[in-house]
Amino acid sequence: MVALAKPFQPVATGASLDIKGVSHAFDIDGSVLPVLDDVSISVAPGEFVALLGPSGCGKSTLLRLVAGLEPPRAGTLEEDGVAITGPYPSRVVVFQDPTLFPWRTVWDNVALGLEAQGVLKTQRHRVDAAIDLVGLGAFKKAYPHQLSGGMAQRVALARALVNDPRILVLDEPLGKLDSLTRITMQAELVSLWQRNGFTALLVTHDVEEALFLANRVIVFSDRPARVTADITVDRPYPRHRGDPHLAELRRQILGLLGLDATW
């Protein structure tokens, strides 16, 4: 409840993210498969940036590089001007699958980061606060197999937020949810982002979702991914799905993705 009791903090606690000339490739059966081709993106502190692109174009790979799970083949990534060399809890990833640890209760799952960093003993209240933040206070002792898909993904969000990330990396976190739960959680994501002020980097397939959430939408080409457009979404929050300005942007982005025939 500590986090909720605090007054709204408009001051951005997010970090800046600089992706400079990053290229990446995979070796598959001896041949080299290029996935990222000279990608440069600069994200300001506290910005919400959505990455849109065709399926399999390499967006998720870019997120793995940002998280520090893999080093890029070429180029550099920097958090607040410091090179990213490995995973660090200031950059937390929420994956498409909640990947909760089935042998841990909701509380223990959320506590994972603090436990791994060895600060759980003094910081237990942060776990409770994070669980309350995503509205699952009544499920602290439940095991993951007892949760619905939406609840599990909320737990995954709480597990990320408990670390007070400066950059929250979201890899299609709502991709597998039903459409009603997705709409609810999109609104929750916006309010969490506004409340906590982190920098958010979201990969999604859903143009409407990108426009509903993000300050900027970056459109990628087919693999190997290159940045084909960088669109600023200059609309205030909370946004409305029926906003004609968003509809126009949506038409424009679908055109960039070669899907304008469906409009």
Partner 1 sequence: MPTYSASEVASLRGDRETALIAGDGGLQFVSRLRFSITGVGAGLAWLAFGLSCLRWPDIGDWPRTEVVAYTAFAIAGGIAIATTAQAALGKFGDGVQRRAPWLFALGAFLTLWELSTAKFGWLPLPFFPPPQSIVEVYTDDLPKLLDSAFASVKLQLGGYFIGAAVGFLTGVSIGWSRLAGYWVHPILRFIGPLPATAWLPIAFFTFPSAWSASTFLIALATGFPVTVLTWSGVASVSSAYYDVARTLGARPSFLVTKVAIPAALPHVFVGLFMGLGASFAVLVVAEMIGVKAGLGFYLQWAQGWASYNNMYAALIVMSLLCSGAITLLFKVRDRLLVWQKGVVKW
- The answer to whether 223 and 35 have CB atoms below 8 angstroms apart is yes
What stretches of the chain adopt beta strand conformation (E)?
17-28, 31-43, 48-52, 74-79, 82-83, 91-94, 167-171, 199-204, 216-220, 227-232
Listed ranges 74-82, 108-116, 186-194, 225-233: which one lies at the site for partner 1 (CB under 8 A):
108-116
Q: What token pair was written down for 168?
A: 């929250």
Site string (23-62) toward partner 1, x via CB under 8 A: ----------------------------------------
Among residues 60 and 186, whose Cβ is nearest to partner 1?
A: 60
What are the residues facing 171 on neighbouring strands? 203
Among residues 169 and 177, whose Cβ is nearest to partner 1?
A: 169
CB atoms within 10 A of CB 236: 5
CA 163/CA 130 separation, integer angstroms? 9
CA 40/CA 89 separation, integer angstroms? 23
Hunting for tokens 């600089």 — which residue is that? 18
Q: How far is the CB of 79 from partner 1 (least distance, A)?
A: 13
Q: How far is the CB of 105 from partner 1 (least distance, A)?
A: 8
- Contact between 101 and partner 1 per CB under 8 A: yes
CA 93/CA 97 separation, integer angstroms? 11
- Contact between 112 and partner 1 per CB under 8 A: yes
- Contact between 163 and partner 1 per CB under 8 A: yes
- Contact between 67 and partner 1 per CB under 8 A: yes
- Contact between 87 and partner 1 per CB under 8 A: yes
- Contact between 82 and partner 1 per CB under 8 A: no
- The answer to whether 201 and 168 have CB atoms below 8 angstroms apart is yes
- Contact between 89 and partner 1 per CB under 8 A: yes
Contact with partner 1 (CB under 8 A) among 77, 93, 155, 170: 93
CA 114/CA 247 separation, integer angstroms? 42
238 preceded by cis ω (within 30°)? yes
- Contact between 148 and partner 1 per CB under 8 A: no
Contact with partner 1 (CB under 8 A) among 38, 78, 80, 97: 97
- The answer to whether 171 and 50 have CB atoms below 8 angstroms apart is no
Contact with partner 1 (CB under 8 A) among 102, 236, 242, 244: 102
**How many chain residues are in contact with partner 1, going by CB under 8 A?**
28
User: Which parts of the chain fold into alpha helices (H)?
Assistant: 2-5, 59-67, 106-110, 112-116, 124-133, 149-161, 179-196, 207-213, 244-256
Listed ranges 9-17, 83-91, 196-204, 220-228: which one lies at the site for partner 1 (CB under 8 A):
83-91
Contact with partner 1 (CB under 8 A) among 50, 53, 65, 95: 95
Residue type, 19: I
**Residues at the site binding partner 1, with contacts judged by CB under 8 A:** 64, 67-69, 87-89, 91-93, 95, 97, 99, 101-104, 112-113, 115-117, 143-145, 159, 163, 169
